[in-house]
Amino acid sequence: MSTVLTAPLPAAARVGPRLSRVVKGSVGVLALLAAWQLSVPLVGLGPYFYPAPSDVVVAFADLVRKGILPVYFADSMARYFAGLAAGALLGVGLGTLIGLSPVVSRALTPLLRFLFAIVEVAWIPIFVIWFGYGVKTIVLALVYVVFFPVLYNTLLGVRTAPQILVNALRSLGASPLQVLRHAILPAALPSIITGLRVGAGFAFRGLVFAEIVAAKTGIGYLIFEGTQTQQTARTIVGMIIMGLTWLALDVCYLRPLERATVQRWGLTVDAERRT
Amino acid sequence: MLRLPVLATAVIIALLATYWSIAQITASRRLASLEPLEARGSYRITLDFAPERFHQVRLQEAGRLVEVRGSTVYMKDVTPAALRGIAAEYWVRDVARWNGS
């Protein structure tokens, strides 16, 4: 009897709750859309000040028809993933180094703490002076945004790796590289993935700001350009695209990756449920 | 466990490949009557709408933008590769030769 109760549900049985969750989640969105549409005649302002959802749908269709949205979206995503990848690599590399070497830690920690306090917004004008408007400045700003959460989470993961495993491997004659590969990095991986997820979220916000300041294409630029050209509906399209893209990235990539990491090198059930 | 990321990536790749293939086929069809293309030709690019700044910038990357009349853009010094790139855009309705005056 207990076997039956603890057995995992078949895929078909899991569809029901999932569908119900989607339906419940959609209710809030639909209610917001209905309230928004109904409030437009009550507010009585023009589409420049207060566009209706229908205006936003028209603007979306127009942007797609004119080929603007696909190109802006592709540009934004290319910059985002370049910045995310570079920032994550740098963060994991340096975080591991600082976590393993007290000398490097002592040398770099004050500098990193100092830089951590300076938000990327402050760097962007400097990057524009150094690298001009465009891809380099935006990617660099994103690297900066992603770097710190990944670094600190990697550091945390490396420092909290079970010492008993490290000692056991060392006593069996493992080289430092083998200890890193078989004990420290697997133990740090859940923290690294969490840092990556946090960094990916920060980078998304950073992307919009960087594109507003330093680009002539991209979703961030679309948001800015929409208000400049009195096409507020386009601005809202840009905002919705950003939100939906983040949701898709989180649901399709980041959350499964985090869950898989926690399960594989798994720490606690709570960590998994947290997502 | 990682079925969803793999599936999402496969869908994205399939969509991009389909889009790219359709764009190439469309470009070949649009340019069929203009072959052989000149090394640096003058062309009349017609869109379905009046071009915005985005389209003008995109077209300027392909050659010298001479004039915009309604939804038609007149261009000079367009290389065959650049013309193929323009013809592959789905927002371009027609590409025709222009005598340049």
ipTM: 0.91
Q: How far apart are the first and last CA of chain B?
A: 63
A2 domain-assigned: no
Question: What pLDDT is attached to residue A14?
Answer: 62
Per-residue pLDDT band at A261 (split at 50, 70, 90): confident
Q: Quick count: other Cβ atoms within 10 Å of Cβ B25?
A: 11
Examine residue B36 and say whether the peptide bond preceding it is cis (omega within 30 degrees of 0).
yes
SS3 per-residue string spanning chain A: CHHHHHCCCCHHHHHHHHHHHHHHHHHHHHHHHHHHHHHHHHHCCCCCCCCCHHHHHHHHHHHHHCCHHHHHHHHHHHHHHHHHHHHHHHHHHHHHHHHHCHHHHHHHHHHHHHHHCCCHHHHHHHHHHHHCCCHHHHHHHHHHHHHHHHHHHHHHHHHCCCHHHHHHHHHCCCCHHHHHHHHHHHHHHHHHHHHHHHHHHHHHHHHHHHHHHHCCCCHHHHHHHHHHCCCHHHHHHHHHHHHHHHHHHHHHHHHHHHHHHHHHCCCCHHHHHCC
| C-alpha distances in Å from residue A261, one per residue of A28, A198, A256 | 32, 15, 8
Instruction: Summarize pLDDT for A9-22 with one digit per residue, the tens.
Output: 565 566 677 778 77
Question: What pLDDT is attached to residue A83?
Answer: 96
Question: What pLDDT is attached to residue A1?
Answer: 41
User: d(Cα B41, Cα B29) in Å, to the nearest integer?
Assistant: 18
**Sign of the torsion formed by the C-alpha atoms of A82, A87, A90 and A95:** negative
Size of interface A-B (CB pairs under 8 A): 36
User: d(Cα B75, Cα B37) in Å, to the nearest integer?
Assistant: 14
Q: Which residues of B touch A224 (CB under 8 A)?
A: none
Q: Per residue in A237-264, is it b (16+ CB within 10 Å) or e — as a string?
A: bbbebbeebeeebbebbbebbbbbbbee
Question: What pLDDT is attached to residue A231?
Answer: 92
φ/ψ (deg, to 5) at A150: -70, -45
Question: What pLDDT is attached to residue A4?
Answer: 47
- Judge whether residue A274 has pLDDT over 70: no
- Judge whether residue A6 has pLDDT over 60: no
A161 domain-assigned: yes
pTM of the model: 0.85
Instruction: Summarize pLDDT for A159-177 with one digit per residue, the tens.
Output: 988 889 889 999 999 998 9
A3 domain-assigned: no
A12 domain-assigned: no
The CATH code of the domain that includes A70 is 1.10.3720.10
Q: Quick count: other Cβ atoms within 10 Å of Cβ A206?
A: 26
Average pLDDT of the residues of chain A: 87
CA distance B2 to chain A (A): 6
Instruction: Summarize pLDDT for A84-108 with one digit per residue, the tens.
Output: 999 999 999 999 999 999 999 999 9
Per-residue pLDDT band at A267 (split at 50, 70, 90): low
- Judge whether residue A27 has pLDDT over 50: yes
Q: Which residues contact A272 (CB under 8 A, 6 or more apart)?
A: A259, A262, A263, A266
Per-residue pLDDT band at A145 (split at 50, 70, 90): very high
- Farthest-apart Cα atoms in chain B, separation: 63
Residues of chain A with pLDDT > 70, as a percent, come to 91
- Judge whether residue A2 has pLDDT over 50: no
Q: How far apart are the first and last CA of chain A?
A: 30
A27 domain-assigned: no
A165 domain-assigned: yes
Q: Which residues of A touch B2 (CB under 8 A)?
A: 256-257, 260
Helical packing angle, A232-249 and A185-214, nearest 10° = 170
A6 domain-assigned: no
Among A121-125, B14-18, B86-90, the least confident range: A121-125
Question: What pLDDT is attached to residue B59?
Answer: 94
Count of domains observed in chain A: 1
* DSSP code, position B71: T
- Judge whether residue A275 has pLDDT over 50: no
Which range of residues forms the domain containing residue A182? 53-273
Mean local confidence (pLDDT), A269-275? 46
φ/ψ (deg, to 5) at B65: -80, 115
Question: What pLDDT is attached to residue A265?
Answer: 67
- The candidate with the shortest Cα–Cα distance to B70, out of B93, B89, B86, B90, is B93
Question: What pLDDT is attached to residue A28?
Answer: 87
A19 domain-assigned: no
Mutation target among A66, A197, A216, A219 for the B interface, most CBs of B within 10 A:
A66
Instruction: Summarize pLDDT for B18-36 with one digit per residue, the tens.
Output: 999 999 999 999 999 888 8
Per-residue pLDDT band at A266 (split at 50, 70, 90): low
Q: Which residues of A touch B89 (CB under 8 A)?
A: 67
Instruction: Summarize pLDDT for B46-80 with one digit per residue, the tens.
Output: 999 999 999 999 999 999 999 999 999 999 999 99
The residue whose two tokens read 């975080």 is: A95
Q: Taking CB atoms and an 8 Å limit, are A257 and B55 in contact across chains? A: no
Mean local confidence (pLDDT), A43-65? 92
**Pairing of β B92-97 and β B64-69:** unpaired
Interface of B with A (CB under 8 A): 1-2, 4-5, 8, 48-49, 52, 54-55, 57-58, 89-91
Tokens for A81?
Answer: 């993933």
Question: What pLDDT is attached to residue A13?
Answer: 60
User: d(Cα A111, Cα A106) in Å, to the nearest integer?
Assistant: 10
- Judge whether residue A3 has pLDDT over 80: no
